[in-house]
Structure 1
Amino acid sequence: MEVDVSVINLDTCSQSWGGIPSDVICAGSYGSHKGICRGDGGGPLVCDGIAVGVVSFNYRKISKYLGWINSIIN
């Protein structure tokens, strides 16, 4: 399944949720039930056909882990 969610400004997200780590992408549809659900772990956050995040409690920025990803692939 898939759902369209909006990326939320990190400052706005921090005001709602407190200290947000720099490797988190805030995305969702506040006021609705759209977003991450149980069982979504490991799923992608895709923008314009490019995976930019992965579900792990929230969305984690893939770009922060490219060095590690490339070391595993190679």
Structure 2
Amino acid sequence: MRYEDGQLARLGDVVSVAGMTGRVVCSIDTGEYSEDYPEQAWAYLQRGVMIDWDKQGLTHYEEPEAGIILVRRDRRV
């Protein structure tokens, strides 16, 4: 998945949309999975990313929701 600015979503990215902040906890597209969200649990989704939002919880995206922006890269997950 790519953000609106064209950057590839990566594990650990801190993102924002509509007043919510979230973190990419796995990127199926790049084969990156955090310890809490391992490949064997999420690879069946085949593509996209999982974002853990502060207000909404865990959400799978194959394509980015309009307005999701990368706040910063953060490899500490």
TM-score range with shorter-chain normalisation?
Answer: 0.3 to 0.5
Which has a greater percent of helix? 1
- Output the TM-score relative to the length of structure 2: 0.33
User: Which structure has the greater CA radius of gyration?
Assistant: 1
Which has a greater percent of strand? 2
Which structure has the higher relative contact order (CA within 8 Å, separation 6+)? 2
